[in-house]
Amino acid sequence: MFTVIRHSWPLLLGIMLLMVGNGIQGTLLGIRGNIEGFGTYHMSIVMSAYFVGFLFGSRLTPEMIRKVGHVRVFAALGSLISAVLILYAAAPDWVAWAVMRVVIGFCFSGVYITAESWLNASATNETRGQTLSAYMIMQMVGIIAAQILLNVGDPGGYLLFVIPSVLVSLAFTPILLSASPAPVFATTKRMSFKELFRASPLGCVGMFLMGGVFSALFGMASVWGGMAGLTVSEISIFVAAIYVGGLVCQYPIGWMSDRMDRRLLILILGAVGGVLMLMVTLLQPHFVVLVIVAAVGGGIANPVYSLLVAYTNDFLDSSDMASASAGLLFINGLGAITGPLTTGWLMEVVGPFGFFLYLGVLNALIAVYAAWRMTRRPSMDSSETGAFAVLSPSASPIAVEAVLEAAQEEAHSAEEAALEAEGAATAAAAADADAGSSAGSSAQTDETHADETQSGEPPRAG
């Protein structure tokens, strides 16, 4: 891991600073919108606009990179992000914010694709998995750090908009001045949605529903906090808990997914999330309980996303991973657009806790559909499934394919090492048994020889 950081630190540092900027603007707008008196549904449109831009960016950025190259695309999109972050405070109008959110969503999508293809090309086969894992950890660290920075200024002023703009500008300095050459951009083969749905109906439906869960959790949490009367520090703690839960729970759930039917695990996680969120809607508990619920919600959402990708790839050839990932990300993006809009409407109809009601219903739907799919297709033996890989919802198809391939290679290496160790242990046991048998035979011969000597008989030939 230290070797990976030494070779890729400019890009990793830049990504962390970018994620600080993205994390601040996502939460800050929800708080500032409440201060400006914007309606809940208007803010849901603003939050949804980011995912509209993100979806378009995922489709158009590859062509931009092929035309003008990684460096120019990276620099241009970074400049736009920095400018939009300043303009939020200069134009406090929900329509203007919605337009700027489309732009910034497009730019961040392009930046992720550019950075991930750059990292993927600079890594070797031995370090690719660790490199992209470090990249995703830095993303999470940046977003969590952003929630802490929210407490250093007044959300009604300019400082909290200036800080992310400066950080985003600084983020590109180590990247653009590094000695690493820009890679050649590879084109991903397309897979039709019909083929993708035929391969994994649960993957497609689950991804659409998870898109709604993610966009509500990460887009509307601060809007809910402002509507519920939380302070800035309480909102930042609540949002940070979502990301911490997502980071911590990926690994134990991933370990379980390699040892049981992934549909059953998706069903259990969806059911737990659904019941928990619906209970919060009814009971409306104390803030401390809400923070725990946020951590559990994030701890369910992130692993389920990775589980759905892994489950879909269990039914595909390795050559189709990238195209399938692109299709799943597009479906996830469509679901993400609907998430804030539906959440905002529910919050206006039933009050602030409509936020948790929406999350509960979507988690329950995932569980119900997973249960139904278990009756339509026999389970696959865990020895036949691909390896689980920790994935970020913002990861491009390039990163998803690379991480899955690296995880698969690591799983094969571990399996081969286990087989070799088992073979060595078997050989050692057999050698010990042979040695014991020889020693026993020798002892028996010596005993017979001694008896014959004592009786005065000449020893018999062996």
User: Which pair of structure tokens corresponds to residue 15?
Assistant: 């990504």
With contact defined as beta carbons under 8 Å apart, do 167 and 20 qualify? yes
What whole-number distance in Å separates Cα of residue 143 and Cα of residue 375?
A: 40
Q: To 10 degrees, what angle do helices 232-257 and 201-227 make?
A: 160
Query: Using CB atoms within 10 A of its CB, is residue 218 exposed (0-12), middle (13-18) or buried (19+)?
Result: buried
Encode pLDDT of 376-418 as tens digits.
Answer: 888 777 666 666 667 777 666 666 766 666 666 666 665 566 6
| DSSP secondary structure letter of residue 388 | P
Residue 322, both tokens = 């990238």
pLDDT, residue 220, reads 93
pLDDT of res. 438: 62
**Per-residue pLDDT tens digits for 196-231:** 898 889 999 999 999 999 999 988 999 999 999 999
pLDDT the model gives residue 415:
59
Q: How far apart, in whole angstroms, are the C-alpha atoms of residue 106 and residue 111?
A: 9
Confidence category of residue 140, pLDDT binned at 50, 70, 90: confident
Distance CA 332, CA 98 (A): 20
**What amino acid is encoded at 387 in this protein?**
A
pLDDT digits (tens, 9 = 90+) for 277-329: 999 999 989 999 999 999 999 999 988 888 888 888 888 776 677 778 788 88
Asked if 9-180 and 189-433 have one fold, the answer is: yes
Those residues whose C-beta lies under 8 Å from the C-beta of residue 370, and which sit 6 or more positions away, are 202, 206, 263, 264, 266, 267, 270
Question: How does residue 461 score in pLDDT terms, banded at 50, 70 and 90?
Answer: very low
pLDDT for position 247: 85
What does the mean pLDDT of the chain come to?
A: 82
Where residue 194 falls among pLDDT bands split at 50, 70, 90? confident
Q: How confident is the model at residue 459 (pLDDT cuts 50, 70, 90)?
A: very low
For 328-365, the pLDDT digits (tens) are 888 999 999 999 999 999 999 999 999 999 999 999 99
- CB of 108 within 8 A of CB of 54? yes
Largest CA distance in the chain: 116
Lookup: tokens for 215: 């966009």
Q: Which of 313, 306, 290 is nearest to 359 (CA)?
A: 290
Query: Would you state the CATH architecture of domain 9-180?
Result: Up-down Bundle (1.20)
Please give the CATH architecture assigned to the domain spanning 189-433: Up-down Bundle (1.20)
CB 323 within 8 Å of CB 404: no
Is the pLDDT score of 188 beyond 90?
A: no
More confident call, 252 vs 361: 361
Cα–Cα distance measured from residue 183 to residue 168, given in angstroms and rounded to the nearest whole number: 22
pTM: 0.83
List, for residues 51-105, the tens digit of each pLDDT value. 999 999 888 888 888 888 877 888 889 889 999 999 999 999 999 999 999 999 9
Instruction: Render pLDDT for 24-46 as a digit per residue (tens, 0 to 9).
Output: 988 999 999 999 999 999 999 99
Which residue is associated with the tokens 């929630």?
147
- Local structure of residue 200 (DSSP, 8 states): -
Closest to 192 measured CA to CA, from 323, 281, 316, 280? 323
Q: Could you give the CA distance from residue 69 to residue 61 in angstroms, rounded to a whole number?
A: 10
Q: Is 21 in contact with 168 (CB distance < 8 Å)?
A: yes
What is the per-residue pLDDT for 95? 95
Phi and psi of 19, rounded to 5°?
A: -70, -30
Above pLDDT 70, what percent of the chain? 76
> CB of 401 within 8 A of CB of 325?
yes
What is the average pLDDT across 169-186?
68
Spatial separation of the C-alpha atoms in residues 219 and 241, rounded to whole Å: 14
Nearest in space to 158 (alpha carbons), one of 99, 85, 93: 85
The confidence score (pLDDT) of residue 123 equals: 65
pLDDT for 367 beyond 80 = yes
The alpha carbon of 435 is separated from its chain's Cα centroid by a whole number of angstroms, namely: 53
Handedness of CA 184, 190, 196, 199 (dihedral sign): negative
Look at residue 93 in the predicted model and tell me its pLDDT.
Answer: 92
Please name which of 375, 382, 362 lies closest in space to residue 254, comparing C-alpha atoms. 382
Q: How far apart are CA 438 and CA 421, in angstroms?
A: 25
Give the start-to-end residue ranges of the domains of the chain. 9-180, 189-433
Specify the pLDDT at position 189: 64
Give the pLDDT score at 215: 92
